[in-house]
Amino acid sequence: MLAARVESWVMIIDLGNVNVVGFPVTAMKTITNTAMSRFTGHLGKIFVINASWTVKTMFNIVISLCDNFVKAKIKILGKGSADLLDIIDKNCLEDKYGGTSPNKIDSYFPPDMSMPGHKLLPSEFEQEEALRIKKEEAKKARKKQKRLEKKAAE
């Protein structure tokens, strides 16, 4: 997340050449968990593109169980990516989806968050965890100090 900026993430899940049997369940769980923990409140839209009719049907069944807020964020597209240009600037979209950015072949997840000149802010979870660790270390240091003082007094 960038300091002093409002961000809304658009996630593109390309299921080209994926059928129900080969559906990457583990990868989808990782993506979902990361999005929910790291980008809470910033996920604007999820596009599932190049989905086969069986995968599209499966997604529609799952989505029918979700609330309207979640339903509004997920759009399942068949072949092609014309709808992506309605919401994403060309310079932010890879060439293979009709944009002008170079196609990413590897190291695509998690996204590279490094941006020159911008400070990356830790998530709320990371801030809480760092505070917990700091408190735990301070407690250990106090105990150690007390033991040393006790030994010195003997």
| pLDDT greater than 90 at residue 64 | no
Q: What is the mean pLDDT of the chain?
A: 76
- Stretch among 17-31, 87-101, 103-117 having the lowest mean pLDDT: 103-117
Does 1 reside within a domain?
A: no
Q: List, for residues 95-107, the tens digit of each pLDDT value.
A: 888 888 888 777 6
Q: Are 97 and 107 found together in one domain?
A: yes
58 three-state secondary structure? helix
Q: Are 108 and 126 found together in one domain?
A: no
Which pLDDT score, from 0 to 100, does residue 141 have? 94
- DSSP assignment of 5-49 equals ----EEEEEE-TT--STT--HHHHHHHHHHHHHHSTTTEEEEEEE
Q: Are 106 and 126 found together in one domain?
A: no
Does 4 reside within a domain?
A: no
Domain limits for position 129: 122-154
Q: Are 78 and 25 found together in one domain?
A: yes
